[in-house]
Amino acid sequence: MGIFGRKRTSVGLDLGSGYLKLAEVDHSGDCPEVVKVAVSPIPEGSVVEGEVVRPDRVAQSVRRLLDDAGIGNRKVVTALGGHDIFVKQLEMSGVQQSDAHEHIRKKAERHIPFEVGGVELDFQVLPSRDSDAPMRVLLVAAKKERVEARLSLLEAAGVGVDLLDAEAFALANGLCHNYPSVSDGVVALVNIGREATNIVILEDGIPALIRDLPMGLRRFGDLLRRVYATPDELVEEALLGRCQLDGLERAMHTGADVVAVGIERTTAFLGTQGAAGGVGRVFVSGGGACLRGVARVLAHRLKVETRVANPFERVPAAAGVRNRRVLAEASPLFFQSIGLALRCG
């Protein structure tokens, strides 16, 4: 939520459970352009259920990834998510924007599920269409220990931080930039990762609710191995969208049911908060969006227009960018890293 001057390039680093992904975006032209992308697996056992348990290994991997990609800018935009971040919209009546910080901190104590003394708080006043309406504020709280741990990991990798963001904001930023029409109405962004699926409900382009489901690509793979006795090498190829297996369609339907229920419950709660109407569209991103047919299966379950989110829809890749094959096969994998890089444009 920081305010930064216009920079020539920025680097978004997405530290996931299975892969490190980065994107360097050049902001010097008429529109932002991706000039470098890179991806590498995280050493097995280094990240467990979204928590970095071997920061030394991850730091080495980050350093190697930036070296291999030829990234000269050693300051990145990265993010925290999952249980380390709490995001909530608040309404505040009779409060001037100049006095908001003091009032928000007091109100935050009644809402955030963490000890207030142990968190970093930030907020952003949201635009209002009605001047007489209460002031709306987007509150963010992050555990200090997690913030310090992430900064320490990157310092060990020889990397500085331009901005430490919330994953949901980076995803929303990438979606709004590539699909400006999402700034009107209620849409869902479903980011399917290795260990979990993040559901971000946007109302008029602003994150209104965020939910994490313990359902990711690993569960798809486990199902294929256990139920359909699929060899490991074929499972990985299928998860990368490179081949089609007999059991994959049924595994996707199982996963789609879990994700659909999560979306339905989240939007039902959103409805109790005064949001008008239900979800009009669904976008799918992350490694799970590389699965062939995942958007079709989810659309069938939800009965809502669903499509794979393309991070290059309005952020083109430069002509000389390396890893063209990766971009062609797995572009949704870079949705968050590009969203992060766009935050400092």
Give the CA distances from residue 142 to residues 24, 83, 92, 125, in Å, rounded to whole numbers and listed in that order.
26, 9, 21, 18
pLDDT tens column, 275-286: 444 788 999 999
* Judgement on whether residues 218 and 120 belong to the same structural domain of the protein: no
The pLDDT-based confidence of 271 (bands split at 50, 70, 90) is low
Give the pLDDT score at 272. Answer: 46
**Statement to judge: residues 274 and 130 lie in one domain:** no
Dist CA 105 CA 108 (whole Å): 5
Confidence of residue 2 (pLDDT cuts 50, 70, 90): very low
Residues 169-198 have a mean pLDDT of 93
End-to-end CA distance of the chain: 13
pLDDT of residue 330: 86
Torsion angle of the four alpha carbons 106, 112, 114, 120, in this order, in degrees rounded to the nearest 10 = -70
Six-digit token string for 180: 């400006």
Task: Report phi then psi at 220, rounded to 5.
Answer: -60, -45
* Total residue count of the chain as it appears in this document: 345
Q: Nearest-CA neighbor of 241 among 309, 329, 336? A: 329
Q: What span, in angstroms and rounded, lies between the C-alpha atoms of 315 and 302?
A: 29
Does one domain contain both 54 and 172?
yes
Higher pLDDT, 101 or 26: 26
CA distance 283 to 307: 5
Where in the sequence is the domain holding 324, given as residue range(s)?
1-84+145-178+311-345
What SS3 class is residue 306?
strand
Strand partners, 133: none
| 226-to-134, 247, 282 alpha-carbon distances in Å | 53, 11, 30
- Whole-number average pLDDT of the chain: 86
**Taking the CA atoms of the chain, what radius of gyration do you get in angstroms?**
20
Residue type, 343: R
Q: 156 with 187, same domain?
A: no
Asked if 75 and 190 sit in the same domain, the reply is no
CATH of the domain at 267: 3.30.420.40
Give the tens place of pLDDT for each residue, 11-23: 999 999 889 999 9
Question: Is the same domain home to 11 and 123?
Answer: no
Count the Cβ atoms, other than its own, within 10 Å of residue 222: 12
15 and 43 in a single domain? The answer is yes
- At residue 12, what is the residue type? G
In angstroms, the CA 277 to CA 260 distance is: 17
User: Is the pTM above the cut of 0.75?
Assistant: yes
The residues facing 344 across adjacent strands are none
CATH code, domain with 98: 3.30.1490.300
Do 44 and 58 reside in the same domain of the chain?
Answer: yes
Q: Are residues 168 and 90 in the same domain?
A: no
The per-residue pLDDT for 217 is 84
Tell whether 127 and 166 lie within a shared domain: no
Tell me: do 29 and 165 sit in the same domain: yes
- 200 neighbors 171 (Cβ within 8 angstroms): yes
Least confident of 64-78, 108-122, 155-169, 327-341: 108-122
Give the whole-angstrom CA distance, residue 61 versus residue 73. Answer: 17
Statement to judge: residues 6 and 100 lie in one domain: no
Q: 239-248 burial, b if ≥16 CB within 10 A, otherwise e?
A: bebeeeeebb
The total number of structural domains that make up the chain: 3
Most confident among 174-178, 223-227, 230-234 (mean pLDDT): 174-178
For residue 176, pLDDT over 90 is answered with: yes
H/E segment holding residue 212: strand 206-213
Q: How far is CA 33 from CA 39, 67, 75, 232, in A?
A: 18, 21, 18, 37
